[in-house]
Chain A
Amino acid sequence: MNAVGLWLVKTQTVGTAVSSVAVTGAFSSTYNNYIITWVDGTLSANASMTLTLGASATGYYQFLNYGAVTAATPLGAGRNNAVSWAWVGGGTAGQAGHVRCELFGPNLARYTKLIGGPYQNDNAYGTTVGEHRVATAYTAFTLAPDSGTMTGGTIRVYGYKNGIS
């Protein structure tokens, strides 16, 4: 199926008022690179979304370019060897939350790249790129709002097919 390059490899329904959702069995040697989405759910508070790999709580590097709707000034923020990646999604209190980011190589024993996370926290919007500087292969990840809880919706993991077949 050469026409199909992106495969849905995992879905996870999100419960009610959860502080975090761990998704196991998401990454494997079948695919090197992935897209993760969370849609159709809500956030209880103005919040952005964080992402961690497996049980790793160190080595997350990241930069965010963002701005507020009330000003034209571009802003930035960094995370230097943090406990998680932040800013991979977000939303406004009581409204739809989202996650959408790409991970390059999470199941490979090398650093994982975080590509293209669209950030939101209420009236602030932006995009982020980062790296997890731990050379370990992971099969699981966890999503969490940085404040409040998430309810409902579906987490989906898509794998990029590595070859033509």
Chain B
Amino acid sequence: MTPEEYKTLYPQDSVYIQVDDTERLMTDEEYEAWVAEGVYNSNHPLP
């Protein structure tokens, strides 16, 4: 999966960070870091 595919699957305005009962959208920096981590993990599953 590429970052672009990941972003299409999970647009920035559709993913939330939750703290207790409060949810918010990610900042641009948070979203880019989250996409990078998710792409890496989806491309390198165990085993």
Task: Please report A residues at the B interface, Cβ cutoff 8 Å.
Answer: 12-24, 44-48, 64, 66-68, 75, 77, 121-122, 124, 146-149
* Residue B8 lies at the interface, judged by CB distance under 8 Å to chain A: no
Cβ-neighbour of A146 out of B16, B38, B47 (below 8 A): B38
A interface secondary structure, majority? strand
Q: Which of B16, B18, B23, B38 contacts A148 (CB 8 A)?
A: B38
Which of A48, A124, A146 is packed against the most chain B CB atoms within 10 Å? Answer: A146
Q: List the count of A-B residue pairs having beta carbons below 8 Å apart.
A: 67
Given the complex of chains A and B, what is the CA–CA distance between A19 and B24 in angstroms?
10
Please indicate the chain B residues that have their CB under 8 angstroms from the CB of A47 in the complex.
41-42
Name the B residues within 8 Å of A45 (CB-CB): 38, 42
A122 contacts B45, CB within 8 Å? yes
Interface residues on B, range: 10 to 19
Hey, which chain A residues are within 8 Å of B21, CB to CB? Answer: 12-13
Contacts of A67 on B, CB cut-off 8 Å?
47
